Structure 1
């Protein structure tokens, strides 16, 4: 995570009047782990980050926003077209090396559009637990292989494969191969609403109570 993203997490926590100890208790990690995340000494897992933004009522777009960018509900005022070069993408790197690159030039209240890369052996959860959140997920795998555990089912994605599902169903992404897996992922708000509230993940991932112990 970039320093700006960590600062936004800390600011959101203080504005919510939550101590490090209280927020860490709510998301199921240790206070020392939360302090290390805020201070840049470690990276959170995907599941832990979902739990944090949920408790703080913020979105991933707000974490990824570049300095000076604004985010808020309501109609979008966007140009007819936008181009984002690889050098301009906002990036989040998780603890296992999983990388999210935002494909929109600024936060979009209607969709999270991401280029996601899972290194060999990585997953969306440190201990293999499943996560869930608001929205509907659409994924297209461009390279590598990715295993998706969705509820009681398991799916194997190969290049050219796509998947879509309700993100409220507990799920987990795992790269069990020896090469990186990269794909395009879109998480779209449900209920036809726009703005941060409709896209904030559920209270916590299914595995948050056991995850990310120092």
Structure 2
């Protein structure tokens, strides 16, 4: 899977006319690291993969699951995607330092990246221990184990049954400091749309933003509240 991931990253970079050097400079890493990721000789960390996806303007499901055959122009997009995805068919990637992502069922290029994420003991979202940030809003539910979240200056320990939600532009770091794997379901909402709407800073880089753009999709909480309002007109 590492070879396929690298090939997809290279295809996305080449299709945008970007050189290895320019991408590496924008990400703040060496050109040799990007090259090694593209040819499958090394695996990126979570933070590096997010940075690559954001810079190239591609969704995580495109990188994890690969390209989807184009449908005829008059065919609704949802008609080309099966409603069911078996667990044995989950596209998966093993990243640096013991982090595994499995792409769950969803509409390719849709508003959310749905992932089953596993952190092995000692694993973290950044092998350098640096906090990362990316566009979108992050939701997660921990199924098993314990996972430490450093969110800006606060540290939280999540255990099975706990859930989280935060604006992913806030600096954060996940790490498993226990001796058992930590596994949970993640949804990153609006990451791709938000990235595409962020203005270009000098030099062609995407400028950071303190929150989700007004044109981004509603959060899951907003959707649930709207549904409650429809079910109970008297509450409106």
TM range (shorter): 0.7 to 0.9
Alignment of 1:23-172 (within 5 A): 23-66=23-66, 68-70=68-70, 76-78=77-79, 82-104=83-105, 107-172=108-173
CA, structure 1 residues 123+70, in 2 after alignment: closer, same or farther (shift >3 Å)?
farther
Q: Larger relative CO (CA 8 A, sep 6+): 1 or 2? A: 1
Q: Unmatched 5+ residue regions in structure 1?
A: 191-195, 206-214
- Following TM superposition, by how much is the alpha carbon of 1:101 offset from its aligned partner in structure 2, in angstroms? 0.5
Structure 1 or 2, whichever has the larger Rg, is: 2
CA, structure 1 residues 163+105, in 2 after alignment: closer, same or farther (shift >3 Å)?
closer
Which structure has greater helix proportion?
A: 2
TM-score by length of 1: 0.82
Report the count of equivalent residues.
197
Asked if 2 retains the 8 angstrom alpha-carbon contact of 1:134 and 1:200, the reply is: no
CA, structure 1 residues 200+173, in 2 after alignment: closer, same or farther (shift >3 Å)?
farther
CA, structure 1 residues 204+155, in 2 after alignment: closer, same or farther (shift >3 Å)?
farther
Q: Which residue of 2 aligns with 1:22?
A: 22
Q: Unmatched 5+ residue regions in structure 2?
A: 199-205, 209-236
Asked if 2 retains the 8 angstrom alpha-carbon contact of 1:137 and 1:167, the reply is: yes
The C-alpha deviation readout for 1:1-51, integer Å capped at 9, x for no partner, is 443322121112122222212211111111111111000100000111111
**Poorly superposed stretches of 4+, deviation over 4 Å:** 78-81, 199-205
TM-score by length of 2: 0.75
What is the RMSD computed on CA atoms of the aligned residues? 2.6
The C-alpha deviation readout for 1:112-141, integer Å capped at 9, x for no partner, is 111000000000001111111121111110
